[in-house]
Amino acid sequence: MHSSEALVKHYVAYSAKFLGITPVEQPKGTDVVRVAVRKLKFQRHIKKSEGEKIPKVELQISIYGVKILDPKTKDVQHSCQLHRMSFCADDKTDKRIFAYICTEPDTKRHLCYVFDSEKCAEEITIAIGQVFDLAYKMFLQSGGKDVESRKQIGNLQKKIQDLEMENLKLKKQLQCLEDQLISAQSSPAGSIPVKATSTDVFDMVPFTPGSSTSRIQTCNGNRNFPSLSPVDRGTDLFGAVPFDPFTCGLTDYPPDVQSKLDEMQEGFKMGLTLEGAIFSLDQVDSRC
């Protein structure tokens, strides 16, 4: 086990031989990895017979993912973020071999990476599992736990907006009924005078979405505010700004950042499966 500080502030490095990458059908499963390992080991066996050496790489493991670098130039050849890793296993019969499955962000393909790690496959597998757990906890502490809350509050906000629209419809219907009642009370000359249309049957000013705004302006003695409709002003039918959970206590992320947070949440929720398995089943799977 490595210290959390080393995995957060720095990284742990391992030397290994890179057998290659191959697409797989599923994001998890010992059988899936076994087939991938045998396939890549067979390909390497053929290339070795042709005089080609297995390339050496450096693995850097941290909370930001697993990087595969050229050991001399330090150029990054591949990089897998932890939330996109779904399965990691080492060979219990061959302590050198381990593999992990990672999902491509663009194509959503599942790719299996296979390594020969000089008898420390189990240690590397445990290190990846440790850093995955650490990264997930840090993700939750840094605001990832609010992703689901934002979704729930967003749904509630949508319901509130629907209720406000329904309330506005009912207000209009009420106004229409009041107008009809006033018209019905109208009588010929000489009868009891009808109240001015500026008030309802209870001698009160009929409610309209814009009336509250005008009254507030008069009471405050400030008539410089533009008289916009609730829709134009981004307010509800009471003249108040609708509740926005993304600017009220929670961080407001741009859509692209929010989509990445959603992806990270889904990836971490899927989890990383660690297993010890037997990959070498025949003579071809002996030392490359």
For the segment 229-255, what is each residue's pLDDT rounded down to a tens digit? 444 445 555 455 554 333 334 455 555
Distance, in Å, from the CA atom of 51 to the CA atom of 108, rounded to the nearest integer, reads 35
Per-residue pLDDT at 152? 63
Please indicate, yes or no, if residue 8 is contained in any of the structural domains: yes
Q: Beta-carbon neighbour count of residue 220 at 10 Å? A: 9
Distance, in Å, from the CA atom of 28 to the CA atom of 112, rounded to the nearest integer, reads 10
Token pair recorded at residue 154: 């967003």
**By mean pLDDT, which of 12-21, 52-61, 87-96 is the weakest?**
87-96
Q: Any bridge partners for residue 91, and if so which?
A: 277
Do 72 and 117 share a structural domain?
A: yes
Do 110 and 20 share a structural domain?
A: yes
Q: Which of 180, 200, 235 is the last residue of a domain?
A: 180
**Sheet arrangement for strand 85-91:** 76-80, 65-69, 56-62, 12-24, 110-116, 97-103, 85-91, 273-277
Distance, in Å, from the CA atom of 133 to the CA atom of 63, rounded to the nearest integer, reads 9
Do 86 and 70 share a structural domain?
A: yes
In the chain, the number of structural domains is: 2
Kind and range of the H or E run holding 138:
helix 121-139
Do 95 and 122 share a structural domain?
A: yes
pTM of the model: 0.57
Do 112 and 24 share a structural domain?
A: yes
Per-residue pLDDT at 49? 87
Across the range 198-227, mean pLDDT stands at 49
Token pair recorded at residue 230: 């609730």
Q: Any bridge partners for residue 17, and if so which?
A: 56, 116
Do 158 and 109 share a structural domain?
A: no
Do 137 and 73 share a structural domain?
A: yes
Please indicate, yes or no, if residue 247 is contained in any of the structural domains: no
Per-residue pLDDT at 7? 79
Select the more confidently predicted residue: 251 or 215: 251
State what percent of residues in the chain have pLDDT above 90. 25
Task: State whether residue 257 is helix, strand or coil.
Answer: helix
Kind and range of the H or E run holding 173:
helix 146-185
For the segment 139-153, what is each residue's pLDDT rounded down to a tens digit? 887 765 555 555 666
Select the more confidently predicted residue: 34 or 225: 34
Where in the sequence is the domain holding 35, given as residue range(s)?
4-142
Do 176 and 105 share a structural domain?
A: no
* Phi, psi for 51 (deg, rounded to 5): 95, 5
Kindly report the CATH number assigned to the domain that includes residue 75: 2.30.29.30
Across the range 151-160, mean pLDDT stands at 70
Please indicate, yes or no, if residue 109 is contained in any of the structural domains: yes
Per-residue pLDDT at 224? 45
Do 86 and 15 share a structural domain?
A: yes
Distance, in Å, from the CA atom of 125 to the CA atom of 61, rounded to the nearest integer, reads 11
